[in-house]
Amino acid sequence: MNKSSLSDSTLLETESDADDSDRDPDWKPRKKRKLFECSSSDEDLAHSPIRPISTTSVPSSPNTPTHNPPHKRSKPGKAMPEKWKKNIQKQLRMEGKDYSGIKKDDEGHYVYSSEKQKRTLGERNCTRLCAIGKKCTAFSEDERSSIFDRFWTNLNWDQKRVFVAGLIDKVEVKERREKTGESRKKYSFNYFLKKNEQRLPVCRNMMLNTLGLKDKMVYEWMKDVSVGVPNKTPDKRRNTQRTDNKVIAAKEFLGKLPNLPSHYCRATSNKKYLEPIFTTFADLYRVYKQYCTTEGVGIVCKKAFKSCFDDLNLSLSRPKKDQCDICCGFEAGNISEIDYNNHINLKNESRNEKSNDKARAENDNRIKVITLDLQSLLLSPRIQASSMYYKTKLGCHNYTIYDLNTRQVVCYFWHEGEGELSANSFASCLADYIDNLSGLSEDKNITIVQKFLEKGHTQMECDSVHSTIERRLRNKPIYVPQNYVDLIGTARVSPP
């Protein structure tokens, strides 16, 4: 039995194997659509390739792209005007490309139906009079094409108006022909084109066709020109964008909340994550309303508060990589409540201990409180070439020391050819740091107390340094380890 007969005799769910010929003499069995065309004989089927059924494609419009670009998800409730159809057509028109115009249909609705052709470089259309006092022949076709492309590619409408106003001189009419009635013409225009930053006089057809403009548009632009700059028509529409004091207060409230960047996703995420004291956004908004009531500040609606929250690039939920194993195990029911409570108590005690030590150091100059952390492994070279993916690379290390009081940062950088990851390497860095401290280097009796944060909750100030470095490393090629040193030294723009 060949494949085609097998597919024809297959029984569908909605069909029955009962004979319907007596009920309907014209009834014919329903054939199932085949996905492939096959030969009728077994011998041909074994030696002939399977050919897919031909399909027809729907022709696309000139404005339709030939491929589907990756779609970037937008934030919920966040308006993206650049993706609106109206603004897309405006942008296409401003760039001189094909666009769709608005037209009223039979029902009185405005729809995008009329197709407008793109702007093109026109012919010179010069006359014999251009040889007298005009420099139309001084411009080659390549120069005209360069002027046209620069005009329609790099300038917006306001810049186009200024550009055209700089190429046209508006002068009063000197001579008039004798005729009955008063002439409405009050001004004449002298046209120019620039070559090597010098204006050369050309005829009207040469100038307009080089820029791809029509007479009416240029006359409208030059109607109210003062000192070479066109006067912009004031916008009479009501300005709905305003900065309210309530919005400023909402952002100040969000700025006071403790937040940290992602610990393990810094290279791919710019978000700041709030401490897990709020389970939902409704809880955060409830605390915000209590804060406004206490401070006597106006309260914004929930939607406006969410907009402020998104503008500050904050997030409530942490990435799965940043979540603690014990906390996740407790949520899954694998950790007992007693062990979880002990874990949370240790986390709070370690956090409070660090805060108390920082307060002691602010009141006593003999005490220094620092945090130490080793950045994740840095590889050299670090370039986008696919062949480098399989090459052996040099491992580099960055040991960061952060002073909690002065916010001074010292980074010790070395690669695996200069030292290894051992206790001696870290002790040498710490000893060098202590020797260079002012005030403590002369004291021979120095006591070092090392304290550790609870496992899974080790976020500290050094992470902000590593986050800044990794943001500067994005899309930056690294050829030798010295490139890392130069970039780390300039990563922090603002002083502490």
Measure the CA angle with vertex 204, ends 202 and 206; round to 5°: 60
Residue with the two structure tokens 């009501």: 238
Based on the domain organization, do 310 and 411 belong to the same domain?
no
Based on the domain organization, do 374 and 486 belong to the same domain?
yes
* 238 within a domain of the structure (yes/no): no
Based on the domain organization, do 169 and 219 belong to the same domain?
yes
Q: Are strands 370-374 and 378-380 parallel, antiparallel or unpaired?
A: unpaired
* 311 within a domain of the structure (yes/no): yes
pLDDT at 105 over 50: yes
Contact 401, 372 (CB under 8 A): yes
Based on the domain organization, do 409 and 475 belong to the same domain?
yes
Based on the domain organization, do 376 and 476 belong to the same domain?
yes
Structural domain harbouring 215: 128-174+185-230
The reported pLDDT for the residue numbered 260 is 61
Q: Are strands 409-415 and 259-261 parallel, antiparallel or unpaired?
A: unpaired
pTM of the model: 0.45
Based on the domain organization, do 390 and 288 belong to the same domain?
no
Reduced to 3 states, what is the DSSP secondary structure of residue 399?
strand
Q: How many domains does the chain have?
A: 3
Residues paired with 37 in a beta bridge: 51
The reported pLDDT for the residue numbered 57 is 39
The reported pLDDT for the residue numbered 440 is 59
How many C-beta atoms surround the C-beta of residue 420 within 10 A?
11
pLDDT at 121 over 70: yes
* 341 within a domain of the structure (yes/no): no
Contact 54, 36 (CB under 8 A): no
Per-residue pLDDT tens over the stretch 31-48: 444 433 434 444 443 343
Q: Are strands 187-195 and 168-172 parallel, antiparallel or unpaired?
A: antiparallel
DSSP output for 239-266 = ------HHHHHHHHHHHHS-EEE-SS-T
Looking at residues 472-492, what average pLDDT do you find? 84
The reported pLDDT for the residue numbered 228 is 52
Q: Are strands 314-315 and 272-274 parallel, antiparallel or unpaired?
A: parallel
The reported pLDDT for the residue numbered 61 is 42
Q: Are strands 187-195 and 198-202 parallel, antiparallel or unpaired?
A: antiparallel
* 333 within a domain of the structure (yes/no): no
- Comparing CA positions, the residue from 52, 54, 25, 49 lying closest to residue 39 is 49
Per-residue pLDDT tens over the stretch 381-397: 888 776 776 677 888 88
Structure tokens at 336: 């007992």
d(CA 408, CA 432): 15
**Phi, psi (5° rounding) for residue 284?**
-65, -40
Q: Are strands 99-104 and 110-116 parallel, antiparallel or unpaired?
A: antiparallel
**Phi, psi (5° rounding) for residue 238?**
-70, 135
Which of the four pLDDT bands, split at 50, 70 and 90, describes residue 51? very low
Based on the domain organization, do 481 and 394 belong to the same domain?
yes
Per-residue pLDDT tens over the stretch 398-457: 898 888 888 888 899 998 888 888 888 888 888 888 888 766 556 567 888 888 888 877
* Helix segments in 68-184, DSSP class H: 85-94, 141-153, 157-165
